[in-house]
Amino acid sequence: MRASLITGLAGTRLMPDEARFLAGVRPCGLILFARNCEAPDQVRRLVADAKEAIGSDQVLVLVDQEGGRVRRLRPPHWRELPPAAAFARMSEADPDQAARAAWLVARLTAAELIGLGINTNCAPVLDIPIPGSHEIIGDRAYGTTPEAVARLGRAVAEGHLAGGVLPVVKHIPGHGRARADSHLELPVVATPREELSATDFAPFRALRDMPAAMTAHVVFSDIDPGSPASTSEIVTREVIRGEIGFDGLLMSDDLSMRALSGSMWARTEAVIRAGSDVALHCNGCLPEMEQAAAGVPALSGQPQRRFERCVTVLSRAERFDVTEAEAALARALLAAA
């Protein structure tokens, strides 16, 4: 059986105690950060060793490679990537060209990731920032209207899918209004639900057919004042699964973020109880990983079926024009300058 857990690793090579943990727990996924990525051959080795320890090739290997500020793979070994806001600027002049460029750059990114053994990208961000909100989203957003974010977000998601890379839309049902960074503290959004439905939830509703999504550690006080969305059964049932209609694999945001409180076991149990299919733990601290593993069930039933749907994405590999994609990337980098 596989555990409903995606876990981080400490460094650039798999340590013996980590290998024992992976073999015993058999998580359904891994997530890589800059601390894990030194050079292409080294990343490929790390991924291969981790999969061997788990005993399966059917492992989601995640990375945050949005572009701009949030990218774990950087030059000189990997391409420069623009932030989402660059495509939003391009869209002001030509929405169709911007969407095409977003698709091409995503397809190029997918090819680069697949070459490393990475099959899942935690992108696109579908959050809509508002004036006065925390800069944690900022230029990671594809625009300031639901329509613009949904249009470019879909292009990015479909570009990844075309390259056999699973996109993970985030942060459902929306992080754009937060006035705090959930990495450091718990944001509270007091906006009425009716307004959230018409704005923040709309891009996620438009992309509800995507196979995977990541929750937000944000309290929506008009819906559930007692819990952030990630640990709220009300938000998960009524908004994410209900109003938005998302039926793909739902994973929590990182359990080690300071927006959450309590032991790692309690945090893990809370996100699963709320309705997430998979818990995500990122920091590579083995004692915390062991606590998180103790709080998750085996992957089975509907979560297992959703996971299997995600795995089917990984067999795709549509052709694309690399020259056209490189030109689109150059234009986007220029727009970001």
Could you tell me if residue 13 is left (phi over 0), alpha (psi between -120 and 50 degrees) or otherwise beta?
A: beta
* Catalytic residue (choose from 253, 254, 277, 281): 253
Say if CB 248 and CB 310 are below 8 A apart.
Answer: yes
- The count of other CB atoms within 10 Å of the CB of residue 243 is 18
- Neighbour-count burial of 194, counting CB atoms closer than 10 A to its CB (0-12 exposed, 13-18 middle, 19+ buried): exposed
Nearest to 7 by CA among 240, 276, 287: 287
Give the residue ranges of DSSP H helices in the chain. 16-25, 40-54, 84-93, 95-114, 146-162, 193-198, 202-206, 233-234, 264-274, 286-294, 301-313, 322-336
Does residue 134 have an active-site annotation? no
Does residue 183 have an active-site annotation? yes
- The count of other CB atoms within 10 Å of the CB of residue 264 is 22
What Rg do the C-alpha atoms of the chain give, in angstroms? Answer: 19
* Catalytic residue (choose from 17, 41, 57, 183): 183
Phi and psi at residue 238, in whole multiples of 5°?
-80, -35
Would you name the residues annotated as active-site residues? 183, 253
